[in-house]
Chains A and B, each alone.
Chain A
């Protein structure tokens, strides 16, 4: 069964600290993996997308990694800011015949405190 599991479920850190969010998936056949950021009361916004051949991709203070062998991805946030407080959702795309199917994780809720 295609699944995406994220950990931790929630996280509280102090402003300026780093943190790492985890995403484990059992999706086949794998197409790509995307991280979304969802601010409270708003829709998700894409942070980064990673394909099978990519190990690391950065977007400002956000760095995503992908290990296709172990089927794990991480999102590292450097020098956190108050505006990083949000839910971070991992989405894995699977090829399904002529269509692609998205499997969404439940997200990690991050709170950055001053």
Chain B
């Protein structure tokens, strides 16, 4: 198995632009998580899905952030409009068993100038 796949690996954009991050979970995993990691705050859970349905989005910072999972093999995290404080590494993870044994993707490093 290729593991969790994320794209792009790096994204540099200007403030105000729309950013879309993509994730392909491990086949057969029915939980998908989106995290944001910064030096100051560490890993923060933004949202997670179970069987393509959003279960907990309490970590989504504000309305500028949205996430979708149209099918079991694909999810997107969108930021519109982006701001410099959104600069971080965004990780996608998938799991067979809820909040345990999460398998992380390589992350997308987002820089908003």
Contact = CB atoms under 8 A, between A and B. Distances in A.
Q: Is the interface of A mostly helix, strand, loop or mixed?
A: strand
Given A99-B55, A99-B56, A44 B43 contact: yes
A102 B45 CA distance: 8
B2 to A, nearest CB: 13
Interface string A26-37: 000000101000
Given A43-B106, A104-B42, 13 more contacts: A43-B93, A44-B91, A46-B101, A49-B100, A89-B43, A93-B99, A99-B98, A102-B45, A104-B43, A104-B44, A104-B45, A105-B42, A107-B42
Given A104-B43, A106-B42, A42 B107 contact: yes
Given A43-B105, A44-B104, A101 B99 contact: yes
10 contacts: A42-B106, A46-B101, A89-B42, A89-B43, A99-B98, A101-B99, A102-B45, A104-B42, A106-B42, A107-B42
Interface residues of B, number: 19
A45 interface: yes
Contacts of B72: none
Contacts of B93: 43
A102 B43 CA distance: 10
Given A93-B100, A99-B55, A100-B98, A43 B4 contact: yes
A34 B41 CA distance: 19
Nearest to B41: A106
B111 interface: no
A46 B99 contact: no
Nearest to B102: A46
Contacts of B45: 102, 104
B104 A102 contact: no
Contacts of B91: 43-44
Nearest to B107: A43
Interface in A91-114: 93, 99-102, 104-107
Nearest to B4: A43
Interface string A7-49: 0000000000000000000000000101000000111111001
